[in-house]
Structure 1
Amino acid sequence: MNLAITPESEDAAALAARVRDFVTKVCIPREDAWRATGKAVSDDLRWELIGEARAQGLYGLHLPLEFGGRDIDHRSRAQVFEAAGYSLLGPMALHCAAPDEGNQHLLNLVAEGEHREAYLKPLCEGHRSCFMMTEPGGAGADPGLLKTVAVPDGDDYLISGRKWYITGALGARFAIIMARDGAAEDAPPSMFLTSMDTPGIEIVGEMDVMAHDSAGGHCVVHLNRVRVHRSQILGEPGQALRYAQVRLAPARLTHCMRWLGAAERCHDIARSHAARRRVFGARLGEHQGVGFQLADNEIDLYVSRQAIAHACGLLDAGAKGRHESSMVKVFVSEAASRVVDRSLQILGGLGVTGYTPVEHIYRSIRAFRIYDGPSETHRWAISRRALPAEDSALPALTD
């Protein structure tokens, strides 16, 4: 895992250690005041953290070289993003939080010419974006149910539909909108790039979710005949489903990286408590019931790191990694959730209070088993690949 990072000679482990130190000294001290608001992270706080990260040379490490990043590979990101995730504010400081990190990756691979300057450049500079795919009762786990439609009107399109769970919509500079390219139900969808101040884009409201741990909230958005020029199609027309996979396969892994850092934070708090709390004549962690939970946490964290590293290696080697990212997403989302749950249990009554961040992380991480594809959807896709054809050459059971 100690991989070289260009253009400097600093390796991934050393860079991750710097990020962890930054998160501990800069981000964690700001958490209590943010959590006390009960709201999403303000842009004022986000820009403040970005400024601190820039000052220490840690901002945008994953971003393309042409826009000031260091373009570290996926295996290096695994260590750096985990270190950033040790505080829920860390990924915002490094500008590697969702949905912006996924949009950065997508635009870097697909956007060309003016799209790079108009959209990718400001995104790399620290401005925010949103990704409009999910719809109420429709596109989400199954993007094939997309109902939002882009009707041709001369050289323009008129986009109409309703989106929800649009993370970061409040205050976003621009949106990537997925819509069916034409009124026909079987019309293939395209991705459209447009400013969030385009007439017809209405943020109906911010959704009340289990935990607020992002900037810009999670919003319901109404699209009413939003006029965009055909030049605002991202990449090729009708390729939105393919581009969605280009975005989602690595994005699932970066979610795993960040949440693994948060789970490790909870584990560290729990094991510190277990070392100091004395009950029934011994330290809490010396009781087998608690000690085994700490051991299971260590196992889940270790195996999760190995799974992420393997899948990242495939991406760095040029493989699509869709199947592997699905498996890793299911395993890590559930393993990290187990780590946080055990940590809260070890803390006992303390764990359900706001005296530690474990309670907040417990609520926040629950959604990870749903977004970017719920575990059941991934298991369904994995099982389809695992099930052999009836006439396969695999050994058959005797009657």
Structure 2
Amino acid sequence: MTDVSGAGRPGADRTVTGGSGTGATGTGGEGTGGLEARLVVRRGDFLLDVALSAAPGEVVALLGPNGAGKTTALRALAGLAPLDEGHLRLDGAELAPLPAERRPVGVVFQDYLLFPHLSALDNVAFGLRCRNMSRRAARDEAARWLERVGLAAHAGARPHRLSGGQAQRVALARALATRPRLLLLDEPLAALDARTRLEMRSALRGHLDDFEAVAVLVTHDPLDAMVLADRLVVVEDGRVVQTGTPDLIARRPRTDYVARLVGLNLYRGKATGHLVRVDGREAAVTVTEELTGEVFVAFPPSAVTLHGERPVGTGARNVWRCRVAGIESHGDRIRADLTGELPMAADLTTVSAAQLRLTPGAEVWAAVEAGQTHAYPAR
């Protein structure tokens, strides 16, 4: 039942579509086990070793930087990359030995991979035809899916006549029409312009809310992950470094990469009461929490105030001497990259930046109130 179609671009890896799902729960049945996997794939010096689990109806996002192994994990789930070790169980059935065409998996690729010579209707019907459904029945079912994604009026259009958002919806309809037990989405919004992306993000969230099986989203965009997923699995260098709900990940990042994604300054150190001494530095941070042992401390760039001279009487117990390493526009604010006693990012208005004569190399004092920090155990 897998629709892993490579006919939409020159030189695509392969075209694998159809199959009856023999040997797996591949007929759109009422499997209740969800996904349980450990994906181990070696590619030269790179080793992917990622554990994944998801319940039916759950959307899990694999989030990470380029080269982290997200696409390798997706290809392993789809059957396009064999496992070197580990296992892959879906609704209690082991999928690892099965070729892609026999897996109950639907895939939406980053560039959609629609068949250029087929209409939108026949693109959606293609996977159904490969399941031995009659041409008429497949086209009737495809028409229902196009209506569901709001494209009934474009059923006869070929891909080159569709906008990016329309092509994305055709690809999603094609993947869902075969009623997969596992839906894989590879950067599904990356090819869209900003306005279309905003609209499609909301529409895709609605379709995923209605999807009763497991969905795995691969992305490097934190907003896509936060909006679309129920749970995030953050991957760096082929390993899972953090997992949790979007809210938990945003509040308690555990790596510099995650902290940057959610817009926080993050430090690790040793806490004694309300004082945290930052690892590898002379600096310490005063926090409101009373903790002991290894902890993380985080605060947003907006919590940082900059001063030309050491501030006195401000109530800020955290004050560090810093130097401006760089400045850039950040929305309607100025983002300053600071080095010195405690490296950090600070956000300020253009007026404040002008008053401070904020230029690379300038010395400033950075202050953060203890109530603006958040400390939590590192283990």
Superposition TM-score tier, normalisation by shorter sequence: under 0.3
Q: Using structure 1 for the length normalisation, give the TM-score.
A: 0.26
Where is the helix percentage greater, Structure 1 or Structure 2?
A: 1
Where is the strand percentage greater, Structure 1 or Structure 2?
A: 2
